[in-house]
Structure 1
Amino acid sequence: MKCSGCLKFLKESNSITCSIAACEKSFCGLCIPLASLSVDKRKLWKCPDCCATQTKGGNNSFTPNRYVEENITLRKKTDNINCDTYTNNEVKELLDEVRLLTKEISSLRTKLEVATASLNNCQLRLDELGTSIATNDNRIKYLESRDTEIKILERKVSDLQKNLNEQKQQQLSNELEIAGVPENKNENLLHLSLLAARKIGVDLEDRDIDWVARAGPIA
């Protein structure tokens, strides 16, 4: 069994047990001054925990003493450092260091202000570039839409050209070229065409001919 105070092993001849049945804690002679207790007091002795639950006051001779191990050296508290131990030179050095730090901090602050201004300028440039890019994107989209319109118009022009060619081919299918007819001034080409048709046995009238012209100018 161990002592409830110092947790060392107990000897029956040099120990005491709490008289409270629900407790029964035991202490050694180093924690409890057994020499000052009679046999009757030992039978009625209560441990410190049980006594603490009762009203404070009265005789505290039964309270266990703090156990102090041997070969322990207690150190004295060190005195506070006196500010007067600093010499004037040390104080001057500290002041010089503080001044240098102040100058460095001021220089860093100036550099930070310059860097901040530069960053602000960069931000403005970035905003301008963003606006320019957005404008260019709008222009590109507009040009792409115009390109689409141009392609549509080109298709329409191509279709119209094709239709014109087809119409010309249809017109050429009804066109007749007569060669070897002498050219005279003040001639009537319609009359000459009707005479040429009669010569070859074709009966034509004025309404059958839409348009008559010579291929070249009169010499």
Structure 2
Amino acid sequence: MDCFKCKKNIAERDVIKCTGCNMYMHYKCADLSETEFKKILPMNKIKWKCPPCKNKRLAGTLGGTVSPKFKDCTTTSILNVDTDALTEYMDAKLDSLRQQWQEDLNSAIQKVSKTFAQDINRLEKRVDSWEERIKELEQNFTASHSPDVTPMQENNELRADLENLRAKFDDLDQASRSCNVELQNIPEKKAENLIHLSIEVGKLIGVDIKASDIRSVHRVSPKVPNDRPKNIVLQLTTRRLRDDMIAAARSRRTLTTTQLFGSANSAAATAQNTRFYINEHLTLKNKILFSNARQLAKSKGCILKNSCILLRKNDDSRVIHIRCTDDLSKI
């Protein structure tokens, strides 16, 4: 096709058509630079009008005359942008995006709702199973127990029975040590002969102990690690011999390792003349109870006799047998 203005052939990439006069022309013949031509959007290019057509339309709108100043302004409209078309185009794009966002949001909400519904159904099933299990347990409990006894009463009775069994077990455990004595704070040495050491302890306190009187003798590790030597547990054949040994030790309250080993003995140098003690062999529970009773009875009398903890305020007061921690709280 030929340009309406210069009458020369127009390449398709350079052509522009006026919608007012329907004439084709070069963009340069339409007073457009290459940059201005490329800036015109496709949707505006189909509505583009040449400057004369624009002037005619503007003149008709303004009553048939256009001032020279306004005419110059209209002819220098280089971008030729149709704002209505641009607004319509942008609204269409926004509507498309809004619809897409709405679809994505609805899809996400449906997915989350489906997941929530599955979780709720699963929890409801678990709750139903728990309710059935509780109901079954209640029926079994009702069938196997007297209706006059409540679960709380039965629980209290079971607790009382358990405490009684524990007390009996502690008594039996202590009774099994009725022939034992415990030697404390005697230094250890390699290859020591505990039987010979026990006989020497008997000689020191004036009790005749023979090897045949000893059932067993060994050192025991403390429950709580410390720097003191391990205690020696001496099991004798008779309780009478145990009582004689305890009574003789109580009458000699200043027993030292120097007296036991002798000043000429090489072990005396390592013993450093420390005191050692001969006591009844108590269970761990009774040891703790006896220690607490002694702390409580600093101004009172507290003695240990035949593994029984006895406490009294003065010589004329009644003797209290301490069997458990609750007995201490009553004093």
TM-score (norm 2): 0.23
Q: Which has the higher strand share?
A: 2
